[in-house]
A and B are shown apart, each in its own frame.
Chain A
Amino acid sequence: MKNSPVAVITGGSRGLGYALARALACAGYSLVIDGRDEAALRAAAATLTTGPGTGTSAAREPAGADGPVIALPGDIADPAHRAELRAAAVALGGASLLVNNAGTLGASPLPALADYPVDALRDALEVNVLAPVALTQLLLPDLRRAGGAVLCVTSDAAVEAYAGWGGYGAAKAALEQACNVLAAEESAVRVWWVDPGDLRTDLHQQAFPGEDISDRPLPAAVTPGFLRLISERMPSGRYRAAELMPAGTRVSEAPA
């Protein structure tokens, strides 16, 4: 029996992480997912295995995971939790894909750098840079062996100067450069850092508290682009999810 490939996805209980978990489950991956909110994580794992989308007929795309889904509540900034994630992936056969998706916005509402609480800044760097780098270090031996890949979720705030986004943006810029160097160092592993664009997620809502963000696309809208990156094993580098949408994708105007 051929073992299904194993993906570790951080922040898999909601938002983009959950959408990616679903897409990868449909693509035949076994999953290790984590999240800090245990109840949300359990609920997500339950729908990933049975699927809200389990088709009854005419479904050409399995909506629930065929392989196992292991859900581990915890904080990626905690070394013991990171070790748990790796152990779970090893138990499934070893990770061939790491999706560093979990992140924190930092302070909300977004303060100007002049007033940015340094503790919140430290937290943003801890969760958005140090934790994913540390988890990548931990999984690299498995990823090298599998000829695998690391996918880091980044943001246009890493390269554009948006007022208020100094903490998050600086952290994502650091993560991007870490990816850039990792790609140069690790010839056996693909490293992608992907800007998903503005999405309708909790994190985006925190950035715009009280604002209506329903004009932003749902995370599932961009997952086909991520899947293409993985299935075509595209070269290491920075990508924007919108550019990765499969050929023939037409953009249409929303009805007024």
Chain B
Amino acid sequence: MTVDFALPAAREAHEPPEARSSGRDDVALMVSRRRAAQISHHAFADLPGLLLPGDLILVNTSGTLPAAVAAGGGLTVHFSTAMPDGDWLIELRAAHGSTTIPHGGGAPGQRLDLPGGARLLLTARFTARLWRARLSTAVVPYLLRHGVPIRYSYVQRSWPAQAYQTVFAGRPGSAEMPSASRPFTPQIVTRLVARGITIAPLTLHTGVSSLEGDEDPYPEYYEVPPMTARLVNLTRRSGGRVIAAGTTVVRALESAAGPDGTVTAAAGWTELVVTPGTGVRAIDGLLTGLHEPRSSHLQMLAAFAAEDLLTRCYAAALDRGYLWHEFGDVHLLLP
């Protein structure tokens, strides 16, 4: 059971907030409180005052790759996820006018010619949408040279690569931007620090946004550094709250959490899907964008807030003109 609604096109963010308003932090912030079952509406710049000294915000420092490459034969390749053996999970997209839609074809052993003389070998189907594939050259340097950011058609024109990086972005590895932390600016980070709120890094290289659809999940690479694990455990022991900036952070940190919520440093591929059934053990709150109907991200949100509260949140967001997707508004789910 998940929250269901129709998402009108007018509720989709068609451009970055700095293009439609005054800056990347100029987005709306909805706050829902689980215990009080209350919803309030703010600007993102109000965030420092909505959190408490001693709270810890975890951010994903994965940088966004230009992960889309035009292949021969009218196909487009979206590079999603590096696998342990060096293969990548990729999504094949078929041309549909000037746009692309998922390509149902492809066969193991098929080779695709990519720009710059690279060749991509499809090795095996992985999910209904993703293939395992091997590129004839190192993927990340190749993409940095030949790729463009994946752009879904609700974003009406292309934006420079910088629009797809958060202020925390380091090593590139994500197929799509970990966008919950996109509204953070150096000014807001400074105000958070000045209030006694800590920020700690982890990495999860996010794949193509299949999890927005009713689709099989797939593994993603993550790293929780030792100092971040210690800060999480310290925060929990000392009564602070651990706030995940993004669903990717939840997936990574919960993968590194033991049954009692104690977090240890970890790195690897995680297949964890957080739902109300799995619950969350190490995280108290979640800052996230607005998610599509029926998506598994909404299932994850239901681990942080009761379904009737979530339903009210989404009704309020639709009613008040909140904007969806990576350039849209955000939602803070607090205990």
With A250-B213, A251-B100, A253-B152: A220-B105 Cβ-Cβ less than 8 Å: yes
Q: Is B292 an interface residue (CB 8 A)?
A: yes
Question: Closest residue to A200 on the B side, CB-wise?
Answer: B74
Interface of A is mostly: loop
Q: Which of B96-134 contact A (CB under 8 A)?
A: 96-108, 110, 124-128, 132
Asked if B74 and A250 make an inter-chain contact with CB atoms under 8 angstroms apart, the answer reads: no
Asked if A55 and B94 make an inter-chain contact with CB atoms under 8 angstroms apart, the answer reads: no
Q: Is B277 an interface residue (CB 8 A)?
A: no
Contacts of A19 in B (CB 8 A): 104-105
Q: Is B73 an interface residue (CB 8 A)?
A: yes
Q: Is B209 an interface residue (CB 8 A)?
A: yes
Complex partner residue of B150 from A223, A246, A252, CB under 8 angstroms: A252
The distance from the CB of B327 to the nearest CB of chain A, in whole angstroms, is 14
Q: How large is the interface on B (under 10, 10 to 19, 20 to 34, 35 or more residues)?
A: 35 or more
Contacts of A250 in B (CB 8 A): 152-153, 209, 212-213
Q: Is A210 an interface residue (CB 8 A)?
A: no
The distance from the CB of A160 to the nearest CB of chain B, in whole angstroms, is 16
Asked if B104 and A221 make an inter-chain contact with CB atoms under 8 angstroms apart, the answer reads: yes
Asked if B214 and A252 make an inter-chain contact with CB atoms under 8 angstroms apart, the answer reads: no
Q: Is A182 an interface residue (CB 8 A)?
A: no
Segment of A56-64, A83-91, A112-120 engaged in the interface with chain B: A56-64
CA gap between A61 and B107 in the complex, in Å = 12
Asked if A54 and B69 make an inter-chain contact with CB atoms under 8 angstroms apart, the answer reads: no
Q: Is B147 an interface residue (CB 8 A)?
A: yes
With A55-B108, A217-B95: A248-B103 Cβ-Cβ less than 8 Å: no
The distance from the CB of B218 to the nearest CB of chain A, in whole angstroms, is 11
With A53-B108, A214-B74, A247-B214: A252-B128 Cβ-Cβ less than 8 Å: no
Complex partner residue of A248 from B126, B132, B215, CB under 8 angstroms: B215
Question: Closest residue to B68 on the A side, CB-wise?
Answer: A255
Q: Is A224 an interface residue (CB 8 A)?
A: yes
Contacts of B132 in A (CB 8 A): 58
The distance from the CB of A110 to the nearest CB of chain B, in whole angstroms, is 21
Contacts of A55 in B (CB 8 A): 108, 124-125
The distance from the CB of A192 to the nearest CB of chain B, in whole angstroms, is 19
Asked if B108 and A248 make an inter-chain contact with CB atoms under 8 angstroms apart, the answer reads: no
With A53-B107, A248-B212: A255-B125 Cβ-Cβ less than 8 Å: no
CA gap between A252 and B150 in the complex, in Å = 7
Asked if B107 and A52 make an inter-chain contact with CB atoms under 8 angstroms apart, the answer reads: yes
With A214-B95, A255-B68: A58-B214 Cβ-Cβ less than 8 Å: no
Q: Which of B52-78 contact A (CB under 8 A)?
A: 68-70, 73-74, 76, 78
CA gap between A172 and B128 in the complex, in Å = 33
Tell me how many residue pairs across A and B have CB atoms closer than 8 Å.
135
Asked if B213 and A249 make an inter-chain contact with CB atoms under 8 angstroms apart, the answer reads: yes
The distance from the CB of A60 to the nearest CB of chain B, in whole angstroms, is 6
Question: Closest residue to A58 on the B side, CB-wise?
Answer: B124
Contacts of B78 in A (CB 8 A): 252
Counting chain A CB atoms within 10 Å of each CB, the highest count among B102, B106, B212 belongs to B102
Asked if A252 and B104 make an inter-chain contact with CB atoms under 8 angstroms apart, the answer reads: no
Q: How large is the interface on A (under 10, 10 to 19, 20 to 34, 35 or more residues)?
A: 35 or more
Question: Closest residue to B127 on the A side, CB-wise?
Answer: A60
The distance from the CB of B155 to the nearest CB of chain A, in whole angstroms, is 8
Asked if A252 and B100 make an inter-chain contact with CB atoms under 8 angstroms apart, the answer reads: yes
With A55-B125, A217-B95, A221-B94: A251-B152 Cβ-Cβ less than 8 Å: yes
Contacts of A59 in B (CB 8 A): 108, 124-125
Question: Closest residue to A52 on the B side, CB-wise?
Answer: B107
Asked if A251 and B94 make an inter-chain contact with CB atoms under 8 angstroms apart, the answer reads: no
The distance from the CB of A256 to the nearest CB of chain B, in whole angstroms, is 7
Q: Is B216 an interface residue (CB 8 A)?
A: yes
The distance from the CB of B188 to the nearest CB of chain A, in whole angstroms, is 30
The distance from the CB of B168 to the nearest CB of chain A, in whole angstroms, is 25
With A56-B124, A217-B96, A221-B96: A248-B70 Cβ-Cβ less than 8 Å: no
Q: Is A44 an interface residue (CB 8 A)?
A: no
Q: Is A215 an interface residue (CB 8 A)?
A: yes
Q: Is A245 an interface residue (CB 8 A)?
A: yes
Contacts of B148 in A (CB 8 A): 255-256
Contacts of A63 in B (CB 8 A): 107, 125
The distance from the CB of A17 to the nearest CB of chain B, in whole angstroms, is 14
The distance from the CB of A131 to the nearest CB of chain B, in whole angstroms, is 28
Q: Is A254 an interface residue (CB 8 A)?
A: yes
Asked if B103 and A221 make an inter-chain contact with CB atoms under 8 angstroms apart, the answer reads: yes
The distance from the CB of A108 to the nearest CB of chain B, in whole angstroms, is 22
Counting chain A CB atoms within 10 Å of each CB, the highest count among B70, B96, B105, B108 belongs to B96
Q: Which of B120-178 contact A (CB under 8 A)?
A: 124-128, 132, 147-148, 150-153, 155, 158
11 pairs across A/B with beta carbons < 8 Å? A55-B124, A59-B124, A61-B125, A214-B74, A242-B96, A242-B101, A249-B213, A250-B152, A251-B152, A252-B152, A253-B158
B residues in contact (CB < 8 Å) with A: 68-70, 73-74, 76, 78, 93-108, 110, 124-128, 132, 147-148, 150-153, 155, 158, 209-210, 212-216, 292-295
The 3 closest A-B pairs by CB, nearest first: A248-B213, A220-B105, A220-B104
- Contacts A56-B108, A215-B97, A252-B93 known; 6 new A-B pairs at CB < 8 A: A19-B104, A19-B105, A249-B213, A250-B152, A252-B68, A254-B100
